[in-house]
Chains A and B, each alone.
Chain A
């Protein structure tokens, strides 16, 4: 092991907000109470598709304690979405006016003095519907006779996305083996521990303060301004603590919208907290997809061409689903070199809950299909599963044609480590088998669909008289530990100790704009902005130190571990706090303020950098019951320079848990447009006893675009696990799993089919 060249980075640090969280002093939106606060509840559609004839709130308003009922007619009727650059994709009125398009869509909202009264009032609102024919499967929704869900959108095709490079037909001609398969991938709930929640407080001076559980306070500030007719700066969004987001909380939801509308009507604070059931049925989910994959290879395993076609079940509205559709096509080529590649993706509106971004952003679906098919091809051609991946793996400097340049890549080292781990594991216990999967992921999405003029990330560093450093960032900590990561980067760049850094985030009045916590942006983008701001502040301090010490070159002076010193003679110097005091007096009491910002320019279509990983899962499959148990989950992982090794392990284990859930547990059946298991009893997630032993093998690389060489960790690892599990089943039984999640009955039925002589499914 090489010595750590950093003082703060690459160490094991507990989260800077850990004390507040474990002692219960951290204030989540659920905990916010304001004087005179009312409670809101939302009436939701019981129909997957219906025209609203009338809404009569008379009886509800007679109930003692009810203060207001609002419907779509109380709103500006603005269709909203994140796509300010592409208005045709902004298709959602949060309180609908004419039509409902899924079960759970908000129809009206009530404010009352208690939550119970608000709940009772919902039953008294009389809504007359004209029920319309509905469709909840994309392959049905594209048929000519299918009902039209959005006016003018023929055959319900919402968006299409296409990627192509090389001559696909020619490359297939060169292939000596071609395989094609269809897959079906299900949805997945984000399952945040903190359900959607908002407290909105509008005052007579036309200012709105919104406490909310969000991944991007800036997005919500701007989106609320658009739908409420207010100026952005008159809205303050506060999200100091957030109990998870996973991609589901950066769009505007009904809690923010309805609480704000009610508060504006009553000039009183209104709180809306979703129940767990509401979080299941009335918020967006991971995108279900039908996937067709055709792959051509040489007999020695060299990849020639791949063609993929995807129909995604978009649900009722676009949300972030258009990006998920693009990214699934992009990551389906990952992490391999293809001479020619073609992807055609079609997102289809259906009368079911909308589909959107979720941790992995389209890649878990892509990897489930791709990585299993590679094992099937290897088996048909008699090739080694590691060797076929090694032969085609991305390498540093590779250009994904027209899409991305790979600045750093440790994929081959990952393959080496996993190969070694499998060898070291030796003979496995009975019924156990190992499956592997590789993956790569973006480090910060380069998508400005929001059309913001602000930089993608920005930071301000202020140094106080006592040496304490105030770091203001717009980046949102949603529980992933970004405040800790950014504090560490700030401390390292300034040369001070971590305890000197105070992070301020989650408040649009005091923090600079940032696009938020999605697409694995925080470490690289907010990290670069923070590093730049800290270096700016440090430069100002060093200019003062240099003048004070009288050295002839400014670079002679540096700061490390809170000691300001002559680089050639480190014993000559002074304590950082003493220098700060003198510097402030020398500047007539003016604070030292450093500023930093980061926006990727000329860094490709998707991301400035990519992480890589190879995972092996050891599973046990019970042929009688179809039950799957995971026993070991080992990941060789390239995230460039690790910042906080403890946070890194937490993120990777969390990702493996969510990914395994996607692979074999988290089934989200939708029948007649209705989610059939909207509770924590029937929707199965990984519990502590289900969680396998996890091991992380960190691969050292240096990402030139990242702060101190760092890149993504934690989102990418939601991508390989389901495929690795599918591969374990394949190697144990010969069964090919073409649906996720892999349910026990699929395994049992596949065995029955096999016994009947039907071969593998």
Chain B
């Protein structure tokens, strides 16, 4: 399921890929999106970095997908 980045509109192949792009870009507008969702960019990033699995990307990807479906 391809998705558009909610900030810059870049087309990504699936929700996780889109989340990875958002974390990876990490500039002010992308970080602001996290804040607007009530999320901590840095906490999610570091949980992704230090914990096994792909939890933060999956969580953020899910939110992006849900928002776009809505």
Q: Given the complex, which residues of B lie within 8 Å of A88, measured CB to CB? A: 27-28
Known contacts A155-B42, A157-B42; A162 and B20 CB within 8 A of each other = yes
Q: Is A92 an interface residue (CB 8 A)?
A: no
A717, B26: Cα distance in complex, Å: 34
- Closest residue on chain A to residue B58 by CB atoms: A169
Q: Which of B3-11, B46-54, B61-69 contacts A (4 or more CB under 8 A)?
A: B46-54
Per the bound structure, the CA–CA distance linking A208 and B69 in Å amounts to 59
Report A-chain residues with C-beta under 8 Å of the C-beta of B28.
88
Q: Answer yes or no: B32 CB below 8 A from chain A CBs.
A: no
User: How far is it, in angstroms, between the C-alpha of A287 and the C-alpha of B49 when the chains are bound?
Assistant: 18
- Please state if A160 and B23 are interface contacts (CB–CB under 8 Å): yes
Query: In the complex where A164-B17, A169-B54 touch, is A157 in contact with B24 (Cβ < 8 A)?
Result: no
Say yes or no: A164 contacts B20, CB within 8 Å: yes
Whether B46 and A157, one on each chain, are in contact in the complex, defined by CB atoms closer than 8 angstroms, is yes
> Which of B21, B24, B27 has the most CB atoms of chain A within a 10 A radius of its CB?
B24
Chain B residues near A159 (CB-CB < 8 A): 26
Query: Is residue A207 contacting chain B, with contact meaning CB distance below 8 A?
Result: no
Q: Which of B1-49 contact A (CB under 8 A)?
A: 17, 20-21, 23-24, 26-28, 41-42, 45-46, 48-49
A311 interface contact, C-beta 8 A? yes
Q: Evaluate contact between B27 and A142: CB separation under 8 angstroms.
A: no
Give the residue name and chain of the A residue nearest to B14 (CB): A167
B24 with A154: CB separation less than 8 A:
no
B interface SS class = helix
Query: How far apart are the CA atoms of A181 and B47 in the complex, in Å?
Result: 19
User: A161 at interface (Cβ–Cβ under 8 A)?
Assistant: yes
Q: A344 to B49, Cβ gap below 8 A?
A: yes
Q: Decide if A161 touches B24 in the complex (CB within 8 Å).
A: yes
Write out the residue numbers on chain A whose beta carbons fall within 8 Å of the beta carbon of B26.
159-160
Q: In the complex the two chains form, is B49's CB within 8 Å of A346's CB? A: yes
- Say yes or no: is A309 at the interface (Cβ < 8 Å to chain B): yes
Q: How large is the interface on B (under 10, 10 to 19, 20 to 34, 35 or more residues)?
A: 10 to 19
Question: Which residue on A lies nearest to B41, using beta carbons?
Answer: A154
Q: A169-B54, A344-B49 are in contact. Are A162 and B23 (CB under 8 A)?
A: yes
* Cα distance, A161 to B45, chains bound together (Å): 12
**Minimal beta-carbon separation of B37 from chain A (angstroms):** 16
Q: Are the C-beta atoms of A154 and B42 separated by less than 8 Å?
A: yes
Contacts of A169 in B (CB 8 A): 54
CA distance A162 to B19 in the complex (A): 11
Known contacts A164-B17, A169-B54; is-contact A157 B23 (Cβ 8 Å):
no
Min Cβ gap B15→A in Å is 13
Minimum distance in angstroms from A90 CB to a CB of chain B? 14
What's the minimum C-beta distance from A622 to chain B, rounded to whole angstroms? Answer: 38
User: 7 new A-B pairs (CB below 8 Å) besides A161-B24, A311-B49?
Assistant: A88-B27, A155-B46, A157-B45, A160-B45, A162-B21, A344-B48, A344-B49
Residues of B within 8 A of A (CB): 17, 20-21, 23-24, 26-28, 41-42, 45-46, 48-49, 54
Residues of A within 8 A of B (CB): 88, 142, 154-155, 157, 159-162, 164, 168-169, 309, 311, 344, 346
Across the A-B interface, give the 10 residue pairs with the lowest CB-CB distance, nearest first. A154-B42, A162-B24, A155-B42, A162-B20, A346-B49, A160-B24, A142-B46, A160-B26, A309-B49, A344-B49
Identify 21 residue pairs between A and B in the complex whose beta-carbon atoms are under 8 Å apart, listed by A's number.
Answer: A88-B27, A88-B28, A142-B46, A142-B49, A154-B42, A155-B46, A157-B42, A157-B46, A160-B26, A160-B45, A161-B24, A162-B20, A162-B21, A162-B24, A164-B20, A168-B54, A309-B49, A311-B49, A344-B48, A344-B49, A346-B45
